[in-house]
Amino acid sequence: MSDARFLCLEKLTLSYGKNVAVPEMNLDIGKGELVALLGPSGCGKTTTMRAIAGLMEPSSGAIILDRVDITRTPANKRPVGLVFQSYALFPHLNVYENVAFGLKLMGIRGKKLDDKVQEGLRTVGLSKFATRKPAELSGGQQQRVSLARSMVMEPKVLLLDEPLSNLDARLRLEMRTELQRVQKESGVTMIFVTHDQVEALAMADRIIVMLDGHIEQIGTPEDIYNRPVSDFVADFVGFENVFALEGRKLKTPTGTVELSDTPPRDAKGLAWRPSMVTLGDGPFEGTIRGTSFAGGTREYLLDTPLGPIKAECDASLPAHEFGSVLKFDLPVTKAASLSRVGSL
Amino acid sequence: MTNKLFSPIILLLVLAFLIGPFLIIIAASLSAGETLAFPPQGLSLRWVLKVFEVESFRASFGISMFLAIGGTLAALILGIPASYALSRYKVPGAETIRTIVSSPIIVPGIIVGLALLRYFVVPFNFGILFALFLAHTALILPYAVRVVSASLNNLRSDIEEAAVLLGSSRIGAFFRVVMPNIRGGILAAFILGFVTSFNQVPVSLFLSGPGVRTLPIDMLAYMEITYDPSVAALSALLAFMSLGIVFLAERFLGFSRYV
């Protein structure tokens, strides 16, 4: 079944001179998937995307798209679209001409060209702006033009580089649903690069978390959010209390601590979200060193023998005083168990 | 109080200093008398009309136009790719290249002219017109590189990648999306180069030979023999031509943005 292996990266190695940015990456992406490449800056996600687009030549390995090896296919011959972070619209052309640019190069002319451009503009809701120059558009509108310009080419894969990072908060929400809609309606395989876990969780069917050039975890948003496999992913998705295990004990900066329950046998570490920490009862004690009100909840920073612990409770409960000592527990049953703890 | 009084006065003095000679030349060219003099003796257009009758002026005007247009075009053909490489790629020794390219501005024209004469015209027996063409191209090149670089640096480089991903070749992307967006800069460079070449004296002085003279050199030669106001009339005409070009450029291209 090739649909699940529509786009395959096989032992793909990408380097800048002698610096290997991405070593031997293997990845399969299914047809019609909306995938997020998530990771901090410098993790190799943009490099990977540029390699898929053909803007960067791999030093070894292969890229297979729809059963065709495109590793050495030049960028202008690949059925791949890319929406740039800065949109990269052509400043001397108006919206219509920007969208028509690629189609004209394909030799499409006359009514067919006009139909395709109009349809592209309609898809992103910009029919009325056809004669505007890019400089006369807002960021969100430029983004849409850029999206339409790539979509009219009917690429097999559409890549988006940080598609929401240049938009303000409200537009970001709007554009999220817009991108999802365009993707579902057209069925195009879409890969977007982001450093924002909220964006990735909200939009993607599947998330690929990258760190230092390798894939740290692949999974559905639920997998990534609830069952992170490593300390890095755990921390990235909001498990702010992450510990390595030493045998059945928790490793802390000052030594080891016995837990109230037995951790899973294959776990190398445990992680708790602030909301998973039981406050007011338990075997441990901590001093409140900071509080912050976050609407529905109240967050506490505790100074404890285990190191700093972040805890959270319902904001309707009476607030604890700064400096007061609180009992708490890290319940093993709630914790995410990590199979890798790289940096602890 | 003093400031309010002084600044307009200083401004007027500076303007008089800058524009004064120009006004004197114009006035002198309208003289009815036989010699170059200020204030003019009477008013007439006879010297302005005479300019068009002097045979050697017509020939040297042609040569100057050829050098200004040809030299500028040659400088742009060399300068645009050079600017592109300097602004888009990590060229080894980019700073050195930039310095070498700008050196004709820094080195006095007299030295450039003498060097070209001594090491090109004399040993290789270059034609005078060809040597002049080379010299003018070299003199204009720094302006071309500087002005075109400025507009290239204002242009995002990812639009070229966008064009490539939409099916254009690398070279195609340059002509389809880079050139149209630096057109203003190229025109500005052309005008600057044209004016620089047309007004060039020291380099041309060394390289001009029998029968091949640029207009400024010819005017100098003319004045050594004939001291009539026709040279003033020609200067005034040339000044108006330069002024007209710069005015049109500013009007249609926003010239001052690029320089």
CA dihedral (B230, B231, B236, B237) positive or negative: positive
A101 CB neighbours in chain B (<8 A) are 163, 166, 176
DSSP for A98-129, written as a single string? HHHHHHHHTT--HHHHHHHHHHHHHHTT-GGG
pLDDT given for residue A1 in this prediction: 43
The label of the residue with tokens 């700073």 reads B95
In this complex, is the C-beta atom of B154 within 8 Å of any C-beta atom belonging to chain A? Answer: no
- Tokens of residue B217, six digits: 């050199």
3-state secondary structure of A26: strand
Residues A132, A138: Cα–Cα separation, whole Å: 11
Interior/surface letters A103-134, b for 16+ CB within 10 angstroms, e for the rest:
bbbeebeeeebeebbeebbebbebeebbeebb
For residue B214, the one-letter residue type is T
The minimum CA-CA distance between B6 and chain A, rounded to whole Å, is 44
- The secondary structure of B26-60 as a DSSP string is HHHHTB-SSS--SS-SSB-SHHHHHHTT-HHHHHH
**CA–CA gap between residue B60 and residue B204 (Å, rounded):** 12
Q: Is B152 on the interface with A (CB under 8 A)?
A: no
Reduce the DSSP state of residue A260 to 3 states and report it: coil
The mean pLDDT values, 10 residues at a time, for chain B of 259 residues are 79 91 87 79 82 85 92 95 90 85 81 82 81 89 91 92 95 94 89 88 81 85 84 87 81 61
* Pairing, β A60-65 against β A34-38: unpaired
**pLDDT (tens digit, 0 to 9) for every residue of chain A, 344 residues total?**
458 899 999 999 999 989 999 999 999 999 999 999 999 998 999 999 999 999 999 999 999 999 999 999 999 999 999 999 999 999 999 999 999 999 999 999 999 999 999 999 999 999 999 999 999 999 899 999 999 999 999 999 999 999 988 888 888 888 899 899 999 999 999 999 999 999 999 999 999 999 999 999 999 999 999 999 999 999 999 999 999 998 888 998 888 888 888 888 889 999 999 999 999 888 999 999 999 988 889 999 999 999 999 999 988 888 888 999 999 999 999 999 999 887 66
Angle between helices B230-253 and B2-29 (to 10 degrees): 130
Residue type, B197: S
Chain A interface disruption, residue of B160, B165, B170, B253, most A CBs within 10 A: B165
Residue A38 in tokens: 């998530």
Nearest CA in chain B to A78: B165
Chain A CB contacts of B169 below 8 Å: 76
Query: Is residue A203 within 8 Å of residue A35, measured between CB atoms?
Result: no
Q: What is the mean pLDDT of chain B?
A: 86
Pairwise CB contact (< 8 Å): B164 & A91: no
The interface pTM score, or ipTM, of the predicted complex is: 0.85
Nearest CA in chain A to B177: A90
| Token code pair at residue B69 | 């247009």
Q: Are A213 and A44 in contact (CB under 8 A)?
A: yes
Which structure tokens are listed for B28? 């002198």
- Binary contact (B164, A101; C-beta < 8 A): no
Backbone phi and psi for residue B57, each to the nearest 5 degrees, phi listed first: -60, -40
- List the domains of chain A with CATH numbers: 7-231 (3.40.50.300), 238-338 (2.40.50.140)
Rounded Cα gap, residues A231 and A269, in angstroms: 7
- For residue A41, the Cα-to-chain-centroid distance in whole angstroms is 11
Q: Tell me the three-class secondary structure of A278-300, residue by residue.
A: EEEEEEEEEEEEEEEEECCEEEE
Across the A:B interface, residue pairs with CB atoms under 8 Å apart total 60
Sheet-wide strand order for A68-69 = A19-29, A7-16, A60-65, A68-69
**Which residues, in sequence order, are bridge partners of residue A290?**
A301
Q: Which residues of B touch A106 (CB under 8 A)?
A: 167
Q: By C-alpha distance, which of A323, A290, A283, A273 is closest to A306? A: A283
Instruction: Please tell me the predicted confidence (pLDDT) of residue A316.
Output: 85
The residue in chain B having the minimum alpha-carbon distance to the alpha carbon of residue A81 is B165
Beta carbons of A53 and B165 less than 8 Å apart: yes
Residue A81 and residue A89: Cα distance in Å, rounded? 14
Buried b (16+ CB within 10 A) or exposed e, B234-258: bbbebeeeeeebeeebeeebebeeb
- Best of B156, B160, B166 to mutate (most A CBs within 10 Å, chain A): B166
Q: Is A19 exposed, middle or buried (0-12, 13-18, 19+ CB in 10 A)?
A: exposed
Task: Tokens for A73, please give them.
Answer: 């296919």
Contact B229, B143 (CB under 8 A): no
A110-123 and A139-151 helices, crossing angle to 10°:
140
Encoded tokens for A81: 């679209």
- DSSP states of A75-90 as a string? GGGSSEEEE-TT----
CATH architecture label of B54-257? Orthogonal Bundle (1.10)
State how far the Cα of A184 lies from the Cα of B145, in Å rounded to an integer. 49
**Helix, strand, coil percentages in chain B from 3-state DSSP, rounded to 5:** 80, 0, 20
The amino acid at residue B242 is: S
Rounded CA-CA distance B259/B256 in Å is 5
Residue of B nearest to A56 (CA): B161
